[in-house]
Each structure stands twice: as C-alpha cells, then as structure tokens.
Amino acid sequence: MPARPASLLVALVGAAVLAGCGGGGDASGGGISPAPGESPGPTTVDTDQRFPDVETAELTPEEGGTWSLAVTVSSPYDTPERYADGWRVLDEEGNELGTHELAHDHADEQPFTRTQSGLAIPEGVDEVRVEGRDSANGYGGSTVVVPVPAG
C-alpha cells in the first residue's frame, strides 16, 4: 500500500496546478480573490494596446436641438504618462461633428463612462461614429456606431 499515498500526492499536486491555470479569481491572474477589505493587487496591463476602445455610446436629446452623448471607454494601459484623452464624433461621411477631451487618466476606473453635452448633429445625419483617442498615438481602436433617434 505505499503507492497509495504517492498517488494521492500526485493527484493533489496535479489538481493544484490545474486550479492555478483557471480564469477565475482576481484581475492579477493569481486565481485567488483577496480577503474582504484587502487590495486586489496589481491589475494586468496591456501595454501593447495602442488605442482606447469605445465600448458603448448613447445619444440623448437635449433642449435646444443638441444632444448629450454618454461614452464608455476601455483603455487598460491608462497611466498619467499615457492614457485615453478623449474621443471624436463623426458623421457617415467622416466629417467631425464634435470632440471631447479627458484631462487625466482613469487607471482606477476601467472601463469608464463620461458624457459630452451640447453636441450638434445636422439634419439628415442618421448615425454617428465615436472613436477614442490615445494621448501618445492619436485616434484609433474599436469604434461604436450610434443611430440618431428621430425627433
């Protein structure tokens, strides 16, 4: 029977190795969630990502014929040295209808949502495209096309 404890040890080690490869747990990739009240530790940062991604955008009519635009941006590399510093709104032809500047990084808030008010959208524009901007690389990344509600 001496083989039984060795088999059990191999099985336990194998299970521990496989558990460490799972996708659960905290964002640090360690697979273990922090205790309540503890810091989650460092997050995984994609320094190879060149541009922020626009995840969602929603138009809301304002009084006076302008629009409010709520934009959710993801830029996991955000630091004070390089961050998602704004977005632009384009019509179907690629004409710029407006821009919004972000004054600081959002490293502790990913993804984040901010709102642009007073956006003028000309008659006849049926949809707008929202494109994020990186402080080092300019415009790019995933964009979102938003239909302009009739009204």
User: In this predicted model, what pLDDT tens digit does every residue of 87-128 receive, in sequence order?
Assistant: 999 999 999 999 999 988 888 888 999 999 999 999 999 999
48 or 89: which leads in pLDDT: 89
Question: Cα-flanking dihedrals φ and ψ of residue 144, to 5°?
Answer: -130, 135
151 or 99: which leads in pLDDT: 99
Q: To the nearest 10°, the Cα dihedral for 128, 73, 134, 66?
A: 40
Number of Cβ within 10 Å of residue 82's Cβ equals 15
26 or 139: which leads in pLDDT: 139
In the chain, the domains with their CATH numbers are: 1-44 (no CATH), 53-147 (2.60.40)
